Structure 1
């Protein structure tokens, strides 16, 4: 009899903790939240736009549907280049965008995405997550009532499409060129007329001759936008965007209102979506570039004369901006220090491996 009582007590014990795990109790700590997220990208750009969708889906799945974010394409609730303003003013809770679109507000915004002649994709991640980059960037974003989470990386981009060949620095003079971020400031010093145009409007501007060339992302997206139909020459390397990071910009008040668990979900989901996006581009750009070349695109490397001049001028532009802005100077010094140290490692690691493989492949042909 005594043994049966013990067994009964033991079997009943688990029920004592069940009320603490019941749905009503969970609901008290995980409220139902519905947010809207405006994107700077159109649905035609399926990798960049769908990364926002993927992020929103992860957030919903990680919270059993209690935290849902609805993404909206560029122009549906806010114009592409007004995504930051919409979040700052709390018109929407968050945006998926590139900070380099907003260097007109503060040139330091470039560091949220990419700075010419600076970091590649892996270096970007290392600096942001382990080199203090995210903390420094969020001190900048706080002035705009925004909290930032890296949300995507395009990988190294291309140098751009041109209607005519670029054989020397002189060929840049007078060109009307769509370009974003600090690359536009640098090119302007070399006689280029930079144009800031939203992604969805680039093709029509190129077709009409409003611009003479365009730098956007890379083979997959550029082919989606049909740039090869109106510009024949495709240049590399992407000196202006070695590894372009996109961001989720969250209204600062809305961020602080979230339970810590939901803040952790957004952070984890944005990291997973960033890797998902970079992997997509690394997969899709390969075949896209082969197709472009097979269909007549003229792939060209920028002459060293042009790259050397751009690099020299970038130093002048950065020095001017550092003199005007302590924040820009702090970010530049942090990235430059890490870049220069990092390449010492990559020279004996990734670079030597890639060089070895290219040599072996050539020898095997």
Structure 2
């Protein structure tokens, strides 16, 4: 049978399209449901369609199962059209809202672009920091090894920051404080990070050795060379804190000390902050030495604001200048550079906190924490 004698027909009973020879309609059966495609045997023969073109004649009349199926198909199509129209309308509404928002607040789009640029810059800076640390690490290790291996202050002086001005302080310091001999081969670097000191490139490192030895060393770049921040490394003070407390030495000095807030929760609503100062132990940063009497500092003064900010930063796990390394301090302690005066009057000795220079031990007078100062406080 040739293709010219085959045509497409529509079944009025099941709604399917099927191919069948052109001829007597009484003998034609639907290939899907197996029944006569006409809804009535008396119905006129189906209109012949051109070869390859479906018969588009709709069902005529009828009842029962096939009629119900036809009505279900119509309802399904209407439901689909309704859902499509609803989704299209909702999409159009959302699009108009977005376009309107961008027209009204163009900075939102610019802010998003700025955010992407900042994220990319942050990623690049992180890679740059890693590269800088990797390049500087062996140099800093060599500087620390050279300093520890040096036998005299004069030899050590060539490895420190500002050697000319540091030499006199170093000689005086080691007259009053013992020189701790450390074999650099016995210590290992346990961490390092870039340190954002104002106007200087700096790196902070941490080291551990036998007998619970713990050190932290800061290296500052100057004139293209990395140098040890000796004042920070030695915990330099004008005079040994323990002797100062007993009445020995000058009546006033600057000290690098540890500080602890007394009764922080109980006194949080008081107008003064209670602080006790302790001497640090070189090589054992997790421990503290001689302690002072209590200092009461008004919270509305510059010193009180600095102390409040530094202790709040410590409680939140932060460190001055945003340093990422975990602190080696004893729990609940912060580092301070302070000026303290000793007063002897009528056989009574007392101490006054003259000034909080900084909330760290680095060789910079920047406080390291942010506060709001009044013109009088500055």
| Shorter-normalised TM range | under 0.3
TM-score of the two chains, using structure 1 as the length reference: 0.22
Structure with greater helix percent: 1
Q: When you count strand as a share of all residues, which structure comes out higher? A: 2
TM-score of the two chains, using structure 2 as the length reference: 0.21
Larger radius of gyration: 2
